[in-house]
Amino acid sequence: MIRSKNKVLVIGIDGLSPILVEKWIDDLPTFRRFKNEGILGLSIPPCPAQTPVAWTTFMTGKNPGKHGIFSFAARKYGTYGRVIASPGNIMSKNLFQIASEQGRKVGSVNVPMSTFQGVNGFMIPGFLDKQEGIP
């Protein structure tokens, strides 16, 4: 078990324009403090830059071809029917699972495409958690 006092807090804001944050940084004291005392940076969105694809890419560190989420919806196997993407469709471990396996405590609040995963800590699932998965 890892014994460390290092803690990480990641705040992700879906749809936030980093260009506007930088433009208005003097009027955004919390973001200015993140920039001056912590880390405030850009991420390169996956293609397509849609919520389920982007958050799954963030959580797994993999591209859509490796984590399996390509859009909000996908074809239901063997039919023309469509189903909504859900956390059950992710084909990779995510950072919450990996950190838990390493003995780290995890807390997650409202992260899209997250679900209760038996982590070492707590999870409050986010957008797309209760949807029907791709069979």
- How would DSSP label each residue in 17-44? -HHHHHHTGGG-HHHHHHHHHS-----P
Residue 55 counted as domain residue? yes
Residue 65 counted as domain residue? yes
Residue 27 counted as domain residue? no
Residue 5 counted as domain residue? no
Which tens digits make up the pLDDT trace of 11-69?
888 888 888 999 999 999 999 998 898 888 777 888 898 999 999 999 999 999 999 99
103: containing domain: 43-125
Which tens digits make up the pLDDT trace of 72-100?
998 888 999 998 888 988 999 999 999 99
Residue 29 counted as domain residue? no
Chain center to CA of 42: 15
Domains contained in the chain, number? 1
